[in-house]
Chain A
Amino acid sequence: MHKFKALIRKDLQISKKTLMIPIWITAGFYLLILLISAFAYFSGKLSMDLGNIQGSPPSETINYIVNMAIMGLPGLISLIFIIILTQGALNENIRNNSELFHRSQPVSIWYQSASRYIVGIAGNWLVLFAIAIFNFLLVAIILAIVDKFMFTTALAGMAQSIVSFMKTGLIIGSLTFFCSAVFKDKAFLQGLAIIVGVQFLFIILNALMQWHLPLPLSYLIKLINTATPSSISPEIFNENVSYYIMEIWKKILINWNTLLQVAVSGVLFVGATLIYKSREIK
């Protein structure tokens, strides 16, 4: 465990700059909003009072939707950086000419691989959490001023948004990690090109030969796809928020699909490590 900690620390040190970029992007985004708001305030055009909007949804709905929606951009940025970090996970040392140095250390290949996998995926999750905490506080303050802040509903909205992105990140990150073991350069694009190529090939074969070959891209999208608020009727939401939130939890987390996602990710990690282990170091 001591060795594993050292590997995680080292991989975090190496990836620190890349991991911090989503925070800088979010900070830049907020700075821009702040500047625009300041400009609007001083020119007398700033007006925020959700209570006065005619036909506005109840506070519970606002708390839930706003907290969920505000994580949309950081979530997407997080996915992009998961791809960036995992697609180089098993190749970056070769590009950096330090593969011999790292592989000459008395530490298991499984530990080395796991450390890069965890930093590439969970490292970005941590960053997403950090942004979420900041967003939550910010939204809480704004909602408390302009309407009403409801802690439990707001927290549920944010947590469900984060969990959706974490699960998507896990699948995409694991797939890209696997591609990094197979391809030494532009792993994600090459992997995607092959999946899309096979998809088209199977579509043509299915059409021509009347076969029923499974379509890999469709399966992948199905695997990634997690429920969003739009997948449940808004009427149900307005009638019973707690019930609605629980239904969403069941759709995005408490189901067999989650288990399948974790299992597929695990298989992709094991496969990637076995390929990496069998690579010759020239």
Chain B
Amino acid sequence: MTQENVIQVKNLTKYYGKFKALDNVELEIPPGRIIGLLGKNGAGKSTLMRCILGFLKHKGEIEILGKKITKHQESIHKNIAFIPDVNSLDDRLTVKQTMDYVSAINSSWNNEKAMELLASSDLNPNQKVANLSKGMKTKLYLLITLSLDVKILLLDEPTLGLDIVFRKEFFNTILGEFYDETKTIIISTHQVEEVEQILQDIIFIDEGKIILQQNIEELKNEYSIFTVPSDQKEKLEQHNPKVINKTLGHVSAVLNSKIEIQSAQINRPSLSDLFMEKVGGSNA
């Protein structure tokens, strides 16, 4: 087992009744990386994160910072901050009560930073969380997370339902205020385009299986988008791409960069292009 991996998953299998949500998942997450976890709805992204956090019973081994995890353990959360949907904050508490509570039970709480972030935000400490807008709840969740000095940050669809301004602000703040080369961030999101610029590695998951785990730059160099006129479609088809996209008078497909197709226009693929090629489907 490699010591420097912050998360190591071996043969992880999880059933919901008879449904196999995770199928022999193997993962090695090194420190200091920003990793995107990408998959269709129901592919197993949230289940994987919840298993890592010890929230779900499972088969297989999970190690976090060298410690084996079998069930929910207090020690897991000393080193991991987890942001699910921002609506999971407790609506019955005020902003101040939420901060006081988290600060009292987290030894890694940095009060100076929290006060600094609170002062620079427009959050009213005496306001009930229930009365905050979704955007303001996001700010509060960010404030709490950024005030914790943890090694790993897991984000499970954190910006679901937020407008584009807050989504951008969320990821920019995470990158600017939280990330340094000793910390690891795993982001599960549907809005791939928005996080594409900040991700370093990518994990594709489909039907509970890890399809791919790779450095994004390497992956983008490995594949290219080949575009040819519609009447030359067979030039793409002979390389068996998973998906052929139709545009006005043209067809395109993601293929290995080493392939040579005469008269084809070649472009650099986006993450969603690569996902479509590797996983297929339409709701990535």
| B78 / chain A contacts, CB cutoff of 8 Å | 106
Q: Which residues of A contact B97 (CB under 8 A)?
A: 10, 13
Chain B residues contacting A7 (CB-CB under 8 Å) are 105
Partner of A6 from B71, B81, B87, B105 at Cβ < 8 Å: B105
Q: Of B28-36, B49-57, B251-259, which stretch is located at the interface? A: B49-57
Complex Cα distance, B266 from A68, in Å, reads 90
Question: Which of these, A5, A93, A101, A277, contacts B72 with CB under 8 Å?
Answer: A277
Asked if A3 contacts B50 (CB within 8 A), the reply is no
> Are A98 and B55 closer than 8 Å at their CB atoms?
no
Instruction: Say which residue of B50, B74, B88 sits within 8 Å of A106 (CB atoms).
Output: B74
- Is A108 in the interface zone, CB < 8 Å from B? yes
Contact (Cβ within 8 A) A100 B104: no
How many pairs of residues, A versus B, come closer than 8 Å at their CB atoms?
78
User: Which residues on the B side are within 8 Å of A97 (C-beta)?
Assistant: 87-88, 91
Q: Once the chains bind, are A98 and B82 in contact (CB under 8 Å)?
A: no
In whole angstroms, what is the CA distance A52 to B104 when docked? 61
Given the complex, which residues of A lie within 8 Å of B50, measured CB to CB?
281-282
Task: Say if the beta carbon of B19 comes within 8 Å of chain A.
Answer: no
- For the complex, what is the distance from the CA of A102 to the CA of B57, rounded to whole Å? 19
**Complex CA distance for A208 and B260, rounded to whole angstroms:** 87
Of residues 45 to 91 in B, which have CB atoms within 8 Å of A's CB atoms?
50, 53, 55-57, 71-72, 74-78, 81-82, 84, 87-91
Residue in B53, B74, B77, B89 whose beta carbon sits within 8 Å of that of A98 in the complex: B89
A96 CB contact (under 8 Å) in B55, B90, B100: B90
Taken together as a complex, chains A and B put the C-alpha atoms of A13 and B53 apart, in Å, by 27
Inside 8 A of A10's CB, which chain B residues have their CB? 93, 97, 101
Q: Would you give the 0/1 interface string for A99-110, flagging 1 where the beta carbon is closer than 8 Å to chain B?
A: 111111111110
Query: Quick one: given A3-B105, A6-B104, are A14 and B93 in contact (CB under 8 Å)?
Result: yes
- Which B positions have Cβ atoms within 8 angstroms of A? 50, 53, 55-57, 71-72, 74-78, 81-82, 84, 87-93, 97, 100-102, 104-107
**8 residue pairs, one from A and one from B, having the closest CB atoms:** A6-B104, A281-B55, A106-B77, A98-B90, A106-B78, A104-B82, A10-B101, A100-B88
Residues of A in contact with B (beta carbons under 8 Å apart): 2-3, 5-7, 9-10, 13-14, 93, 96-109, 277, 280-282
